[in-house]
């Protein structure tokens, strides 16, 4: 322990900082402490600016009173100081005064006095630390949160389903006001007509792919002709409608969420409510009804394009001419006469699901633009998921009915 009366001085030098004995280091920030009796004098100077303070940070943390009871801060040699530098000085001051020292004075050039005083007045202690990170419990918590959220979403979606069903029914059976025809027609155009090129192209290509895969395998058994049955039945029963529904979910379901979500952010939905208008009737119904009309039509078109794709592939790789293809197709369908309808019947169900989820997620948008993006993604994923689940349900139903 240093005895009182003896002068103890310690200097701190930092990496890259050559501190000479006379403590002349213009452009660098420096400090040194000196103890005389019970007074610790803290000299600092140079450029106490943000570029410099990283080096000082650590050593200032280790600043000790060393038995002193009073502290004097002398910064008369400070050349420049910004708020980050001032913060370090004030932190050191708080640190020492918390250790029990009395701060006697604080000298800085006049130009920086207002800054230090302002910060000293305003600072309300260290930053609150964010909740500690516990990977395992956090993981569990997230999982639980996800599960309850999923359950809640399902519950609310069911509620929304009920509401839409009732309102659709009412709007059709006893209309209080005329259906918003222009919006309805617009939706048919947006979800149906404009989707024709992409649906047609994809279905055609899928027909080609199916025919090619089937031909390769069936050739080995000399049963090439049954490629037609394979393509025909799978396109009509499954591929046509499923592909169309997935495209619709990506194109139209996401558009529903983004449109309604943006309107929600823009307070347009609230404006409707205050005018006594029903947002479900104005925003949701035209979209649901529009997609209910356009998706079956698109499915029909997709079926045709898929069959054409299959026929083209059969012609080129198996030399099955178009008349032969159509004869074989008729034969195939006569074994299961419901094939075409089994596909088409699913379209309105898928359409309803996609529009429902799209509008539901759109109406859930709140707060920020980020939530529009998040919910749009969710809407697409959820509607595709539900479409596939529904499709599986239909398969089970059809196999029970043996059609």
Partner 1 sequence: MVMRIKPKRAEPSQEEVAIRVRGLVTRMGEKVIHDHLDLDVKRGEVLGVVGGSGTGKSVLLRSIIHLIKPAEGEISVLGKRLDQLNDQELRALEIRWGVLFQEGALFSSHTVAENIQIPLREYTNLPQRLMEEIAAMKLSLVGLPPDAGLKYPSELSGGMKKRAALARALALDPELLFLDEPTSGLDPIAANHFDELLRDLHKSLNLTVFMVTHDLNSLKGTTDRIAVLVDKKVKIGTIQTLVNDPHPWIQEYFNGARGRAALAS
Rounded to a whole number of angstroms, the minimum distance from the CB of residue 50 to partner 1 is 6
Which is closer to partner 1, CB of 5 or CB of 128? Answer: 128
Rounded to a whole number of angstroms, the minimum distance from the CB of residue 89 to partner 1 is 12
Rounded to a whole number of angstroms, the minimum distance from the CB of residue 90 to partner 1 is 8
Which is closer to partner 1, CB of 82 or CB of 167? Answer: 82
Sheet holding 8-11, edge to edge: 8-11, 29-36, 39-48, 70-81, 102-107
d(CA 239, CA 202): 11
Question: Residue 26: which residues within 8 A CB-CB, separation 6 or more?
Answer: 46, 79
Phi, psi of 245, deg, nearest 5? -65, -40
Distances (CA, A) of 107 to 43, 47, 121, 343: 9, 15, 16, 86
Rounded to a whole number of angstroms, the minimum distance from the CB of residue 65 to partner 1 is 21
Rounded to a whole number of angstroms, the minimum distance from the CB of residue 59 to partner 1 is 13
- DSSP class of residue 284? I
Which is closer to partner 1, CB of 57 or CB of 216? Answer: 57
Tokens found for residue 241: 């409608």
Which is closer to partner 1, CB of 36 or CB of 374? Answer: 374
Which is closer to partner 1, CB of 124 or CB of 174? Answer: 124
Rounded to a whole number of angstroms, the minimum distance from the CB of residue 157 to partner 1 is 24
Which is closer to partner 1, CB of 95 or CB of 213? Answer: 95
Rounded to a whole number of angstroms, the minimum distance from the CB of residue 370 to partner 1 is 5
Cβ–Cβ under 8 Å, residues 47 and 28: yes
Rounded to a whole number of angstroms, the minimum distance from the CB of residue 102 to partner 1 is 24
Q: Give the pairing of strands 39-48 and 8-11.
A: unpaired
Contact residues for partner 1, defined by CB under 8 A = 49-51, 53-54, 57-58, 82-84, 87, 91, 111, 114-115, 117-119, 122-128, 130, 367-370
Beta bridge partners of 125: none
Cβ–Cβ under 8 Å, residues 279 and 363: yes
DSSP for 92-161 reads HHHHHHHTT-EEEEEE--GGGHHHHHHHHHH--SSPPPPPP--HHHHHHHHHHHHHHHHHHHHHHHHHHH
Rounded to a whole number of angstroms, the minimum distance from the CB of residue 34 to partner 1 is 26
Which is closer to partner 1, CB of 57 or CB of 268? Answer: 57
Which is closer to partner 1, CB of 323 or CB of 367? Answer: 367
d(CA 353, CA 161): 9
Distances (CA, A) of 367 to 80, 254, 260, 299, 375: 43, 19, 14, 37, 12
Tokens found for residue 163: 């509401």
Phi, psi of 104, deg, nearest 5? -80, -50
Which is closer to partner 1, CB of 44 or CB of 325? Answer: 44
Tokens found for residue 152: 């809640």
Which is closer to partner 1, CB of 49 or CB of 324? Answer: 49
d(CA 194, CA 306): 18
């Amino acid at each position: 322990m240093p005895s009182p009366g003896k002068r103890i001085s310690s200097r701190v030098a930092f990496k890259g900082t050559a501190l000479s004995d006379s403590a002349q280091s213009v452009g660098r920030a420096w400090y040194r402490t000196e103890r005389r009796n019970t007074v610790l004098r803290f000299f600092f100077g140079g450029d106490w600016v943000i570029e410099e303070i990283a080096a000082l940070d650590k050593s200032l943390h280790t600043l000790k009173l060393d038995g002193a009871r009073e502290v004097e801060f002398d910064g008369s040699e400070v050349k420049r100081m910004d708020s980050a530098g001032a913060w370090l000085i004030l932190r050191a001051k708080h640190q020492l005064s918390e250790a029990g020292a009395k701060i006697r004075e604080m000298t800085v050039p006049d130009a920086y006095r207002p800054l230090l005083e302002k910060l000293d007045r305003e600072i309300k202690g260290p930053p609150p630390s964010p909740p500690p990170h516990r990977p395992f419990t956090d993981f569990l918590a997230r999982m639980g949160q996800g599960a309850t959220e999923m359950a809640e979403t399902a519950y609310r979606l069911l509620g929304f389903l009920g509401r839409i069903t009732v309102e659709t029914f009412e709007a059709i059976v006893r209309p209080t006001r005329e259906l918003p025809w222009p919006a309805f027609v617009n939706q048919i155009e947006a979800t149906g007509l404009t989707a024709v090129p992409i649906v047609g192209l994809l279905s055609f290509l899928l027909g080609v792919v199916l025919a090619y895969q089937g031909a390769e395998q069936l050739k080995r058994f000399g049963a090439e002709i049954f490629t037609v049955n394979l393509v025909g039945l799978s396109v009509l029963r499954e591929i046509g409608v499923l592909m169309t529904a997935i495209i619709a979910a990506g194109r139209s379901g996401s558009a529903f969420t983004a449109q309604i979500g943006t309107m929600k952010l823009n307070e347009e939905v609230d404006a409707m409510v205050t005018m006594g208008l029903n947002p479900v009737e104005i925003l949701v119904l035209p979209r649901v009804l529009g997609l209910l009309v356009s998706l079956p039509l698109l499915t029909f078109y997709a079926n045709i394009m898929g069959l054409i794709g299959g026929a083209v592939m059969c012609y080129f790789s198996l030399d099955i001419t178009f008349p032969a293809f159509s004869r074989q197709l008729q034969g195939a369908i006569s074994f299961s006469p419901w094939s075409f309808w089994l596909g088409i019947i699913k379209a309105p169900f898928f359409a309803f699901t996609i529009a429902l989820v799209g509008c539901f997620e759109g109406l859930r948008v709140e707060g920020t633009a980020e939530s529009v993006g998040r919910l749009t993604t969710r809407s697409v994923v959820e509607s595709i998921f539900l479409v596939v689940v529904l499709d599986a349900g239909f398969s089970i139903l059809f196999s029970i009915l043996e059609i």
